[in-house]
Amino acid sequence: MNDIFAPATGIGSLPGQDAREAAKTATGSFEDFPFLPELPARGPGADMIGRTAGMLVELYARVEPSGWRLGDRPGRDTKRARAWLGEDLDALEEFTQGYEGPLKVQAVGPWTLAAALELRSGEAVLSDPGACRDLAASLAEGLRLHLAEIRRRVPGSRPVLQLDEPSLTAVLRGRVRTASGYRTHRAVDRQIVEATLREVAGVHDGGPVVVHSCAPDVPFALLRRAGVAGVSFDFSLLTERDDDAIGEAVEGGTRLFAGVVPGTDAALSDPAGSVMGVRTLWRRLGLRPELLAEAVTVTPACGLAGASPDYARRALAHCVRAARSLADNPE
């Protein structure tokens, strides 16, 4: 499975509101692993939750003062989310004429979506196991249609589906707050979390699925069991407690999307310096240096929506140079 990936790519979000400029940046920066950009600065419906809510089938969401809430019918917020996604797909199609290779598309995963979307009562979908199942089924169908649209528009591409799950660890540990803010929702059973992720990932018909989380304590072992091909994470949040799980993931063929470039404006070190921690991890795990280029894709630590446009472009270019450094000098 690793041979379908490439050495570097982006996470998803970019600054600004111009779909064509974003598509030009995402495709120009990564000639062998472009991604479909997200532009949350446009407002509700372009944010990660609203964008994915717009993909749902037979479930609809609208913006309330407290956030996105499920409703009975598609309103202006759903229509706006779908219109912006269509605009982004038009721009991507324009800049990928004749492209053949991996193409990454992002959507919020079922558990972060369940933690963020509200039921009509105002409580999170996460509070209702039946609603969680319905949401996961609706998301899976929406993603199936979305991936089919990607294949239609960019016929030479091999879509890679990234599920954004920043709330996954909080869901597993019972740390998602209730609407009142005074309590937290009960932890969801790990087997249910795993089975739901497997169900949603399975909609890709054997295609590669990556789960991204820029939160601490990413559950590498659970994600491997759920069948994902890659795990995307903020490298700076790793601790030595993660070593065994990462070593097992690499040896099991799971691709590591190592977020080593800051997601907001910062001084960028030389490319070799950016991946020094990855080399150190490899030595600590006793893994073969030549495995590095086969097992690691270099990315920003998280989305770049909070960065300046100039920094975002430089950060993406830096990922490419850092990945080249890793391949050229694995030791």
Q: Are 115 and 177 contacting, i.e. CB atoms less than 8 angstroms apart?
A: no
Residues 57-80 have pLDDT tens digits of 999 999 999 999 998 888 899 999
The reported pLDDT for the residue numbered 3 is 63
Q: Are 232 and 11 contacting, i.e. CB atoms less than 8 angstroms apart?
A: yes
Residues 167-208 have pLDDT tens digits of 999 999 999 999 888 899 999 999 999 999 999 999 998 799
Q: How far is CA 116 from the centre of its chain?
A: 16
Q: Are 69 and 75 contacting, i.e. CB atoms less than 8 angstroms apart?
A: no
- List the end-to-end C-alpha distance of the chain, in Å, as a whole number: 24
Residues 19-46 have pLDDT tens digits of 999 999 999 999 999 999 999 999 999 9
How far apart are alpha carbons 125 and 171 in whole angstroms? 12
Q: Are 154 and 99 contacting, i.e. CB atoms less than 8 angstroms apart?
A: yes
Mean pLDDT to the nearest integer, 302-309: 96
Q: What's the pTM?
A: 0.96
Mean pLDDT to the nearest integer, 260-278: 93
Higher confidence at residue 290 or residue 15?
A: 15
Q: Are 216 and 238 contacting, i.e. CB atoms less than 8 angstroms apart?
A: no
Of the chain, the percentage scoring pLDDT greater than 70 comes to 99
Question: pLDDT at residue 290 above 90?
Answer: no
Question: pLDDT at residue 311 above 80?
Answer: yes
Report phi then psi at 266, rounded to 5: -155, 160
The reported pLDDT for the residue numbered 180 is 84
